[in-house]
Chains A and B, each alone.
Chain A
Amino acid sequence: MGHTLTEKIIAAHLVQGEENVASSAEVWPGDLVEVAVDVVLANDITAPIAIREFETLGVERVFDRDRVVMVADHFAPNKDIKSAEQCLAMRQFARAQGLRHHFDVGRMGIEHVLLPEQGLVAPGDIVVGADSHTCTYGALGAFATGMGSTDIAVAMATGCVWLCVPETIRVVYHGRLRPWVGGKDLILYTIGHIGVSGALYKAIEFAGPVIDDLSMAGRFTMANMAIEAGGKAGLFAVDDRTLAYVDGRVSRPYHVYQADTDATYAQLIEIDVSQIEPQVALPHLPENVCPASQAGEVQIDQVVIGSCTNGRLEDLRVAAELLRGRRVHPDVRCIVIPGSQQVYLEALREGLIEAFIEAGAVVSTPTCGPCLGGHMGVLAAGERAVSTTNRNFRGRMGHPESEVYLAGPAVAAASAVAGHIASPEEVQQCN
């Protein structure tokens, strides 16, 4: 009987000889195992607790200063004194430990845009991060999963974590994508189909001809939101597109694993994308999905285009295509946040930033900021936002009585112009 991609990667990382650990080189769903990790990640919100717990452990040095990564992205540039102190604590720890990959303002980006871009994650890796969207790196054929700060503290000290080997759901996408439909629409549609706990404790493997043709940016977007279906990880098979992406970025050796053709899946889901329109997730769960064209007359106050979900150059290109030569609706604040300094620079060189500013949007330095109601676009009571971020929980972007509608960059840009939730076609027809 064959193995899934997740099982292959975990089996290759087993720490042998420990008690309670499977002794063979094979693992199966349900096995509790200890694995060596390739990369450990924390940010300015989660690192302070991880550092505190690390110090409680009484360990002097991190297991490998090249493999512990820290990024100041959530409340940075520092939004207030307390945030400044959290960033300072992380900075001091990074310096004391000699961490090679500590990203501060001016060099940082939103962590899950930044790490792949900088070549810090490779196919076949196991990555653990004190951020739930660590699953983004599944786009590179890595097993990447979010954990809490205490798990990360132990991983920083030992280079190991315990895991329960998950079952895998395989989702296969067939058909032909309609105009303006991208990775965000596919993953929102999928979450709408299986629900916010549909993949609880499980890994998701995304596959099929549509995935073969999907850009890396689209794959990052989909893997990123595996957690919104409760998933432990969301993975893609490594192909030529993946290898082209990591070529010139990843400088260390890595191994490409492939799922066996006779692997056992907990569930097999087939989706015909030909019928999928640009999607929107209504408040207050990512599973409340409908086509943007059927969202009804929903007036909005703000649009956010960015985040670890949709802050890549390809996302900004889509948004610029709709915003160029048009104006953001007078009742809407449109906030564009490139996911990294590199994305920002390339967007500038391509003229995208100019298009945003001329349309009446504001362009921010990279930050998670508004996605979690931190800063740079917090909502008041009763306000509504269309956002390319990943969560629309109650109060996520600010006041508990505010509302977030999740969408891809096309719907977000179209809505910014229309002043209400709009499909890209609606805005194009207005010309």
Chain B
Amino acid sequence: MQLTGRVWKYGDNVDTDVIIPARYLNVSTPEELARHCMEGIDPDFASAVQRGDIIVAGENFGCGSSREHAPLAIKESGIACVVAKSFARIFYRNAINIGLPILACAQAVEETEKGDQLTVDLRAGTITNLRTGRTYQTPPFPAFVMGIIQAGGLIPYTRERMANDQ
């Protein structure tokens, strides 16, 4: 589970209203949502983002609404991983549940600039900045959460559990 991508950098408290403004919530297909991803904070993002890119942001990423449209839009836009100093809790759950990789690491965020290339190893929980050569270690996910990640999200995880129960 290793990936390398180019960085889009944002600040603290990136809220779900700027990730996907509510005026677009009259649809729920990932493709349509991705067209407006980050529109409230960075109108160029949706047209310039490339598959495999990485979002790096400050504290409390994804604060605000429970709208799963936010991580869905980010995932569908091609973003491979979000690295932030911290995540709002509903966004954290939603990202895990839909299979959008996220990692919390304040130091990596501090020392990363827009356009840097990062290599992220999700299993090892490491982030390497290819410009500076520095590697950062993030705390591992709890085993239960890792189970959801490895199953590919909460729906496949629950389906497996329900099949085992029967």
**Taking CB as reference atom, which chain B residue is nearest A85?**
B26
Task: Give a binary string over B52-75; 1 marks a CB under 8 Å from any A CB, 0 the rest.
Answer: 000000011001111111011000
Q: How far is the CA of A23 from the CA of B88 in the complex (A)?
A: 28
Inter-subunit contact B68/A230 (CB<8 Å): no
- A411 close to B (CB within 8 Å): no
| A141 CB to nearest chain B CB (Å) | 21
A351-385 to B contact mask, C-beta < 8 Å, 1/0: 00000000000000000000011100010000000
In the assembled complex, A185 has its CB within 8 A of some CB on chain B: no
Let me know if A215 is at the binding interface, CB within 8 A. no
With an 8 A cutoff between CB atoms, is A48 at the interface? yes
Given contacts A230-B88, A393-B18, contact A197 B25 (CB under 8 A): no
Is A317 close to B, CB under 8 A? no
List B78-106 residues whose CB lies under 8 Å from chain A. 86, 88-90, 93-94, 97-98
Contact A148 B93 (CB under 8 A): yes
User: Which parts of B86-144 form the interface with A (CB within 8 Å)?
Assistant: 86, 88-90, 93-94, 97-98, 142-144
Q: What is the total number of residues of chain A having a CB less than 8 Å from a CB of chain B?
A: 54
In the complex, what distance in Å separates the CA atom of A153 from the CA atom of B147? 18
Instruction: Decide yes or no: A154 and B28 within 8 Å by CB, A132-B64, A393-B17 being known contacts.
Output: no
CB-contact partner of A57 in B64, B88, B158, under 8 A = B158
Tell me whether A396 is interfacial, beta carbon within 8 Å.
yes
A200 CB within 8 Å of chain B: yes
B contact residues, total (Cβ < 8 Å): 43
Which chain B residue lies CB-closest to A74? B25
User: From B158, which residue of chain A is reached at the shortest CB distance?
Assistant: A154
Given A150-B98, A197-B60, A394-B17: A373 touches B22 (CB 8 Å cut-off): yes
Indicate if the CB atoms of B18 and A80 lie closer than 8 Å: no
Q: Which residue from B13, B18, B60, B155 sits with its C-beta under 8 Å from A395?
A: B18
Q: Does B7 contact A (CB under 8 A)?
A: no
Within the complex, the shortest CB–CB distance from A206 to chain B, in Å, comes to 19
The reply to whether B66 and A201 form a contact with Cβ atoms under 8 Å apart is: no
The chain A residue with its CB closest to the CB of B70 is A148
A148 x B97 contact (CB < 8 A): yes
Q: Which residues of A contact B158 (CB under 8 A)?
A: 57, 154, 157-158
Q: Give the distance in Å from the alpha carbon of A232 to the alpha carbon of B93 in the complex.
A: 12
Chain B residues at the A interface, C-beta cutoff of 8 Å = 13, 15, 17-18, 21-23, 25-28, 40-41, 59-60, 63-69, 71-72, 86, 88-90, 93-94, 97-98, 142-145, 147, 153-155, 158-159, 162
Q: A57-B162, A82-B27 are in contact. List 15 more A-B contacts (CB 8 A).
A: A20-B143, A48-B28, A75-B25, A79-B26, A130-B68, A131-B65, A148-B97, A150-B154, A153-B155, A197-B13, A200-B89, A230-B60, A230-B63, A393-B40, A395-B17
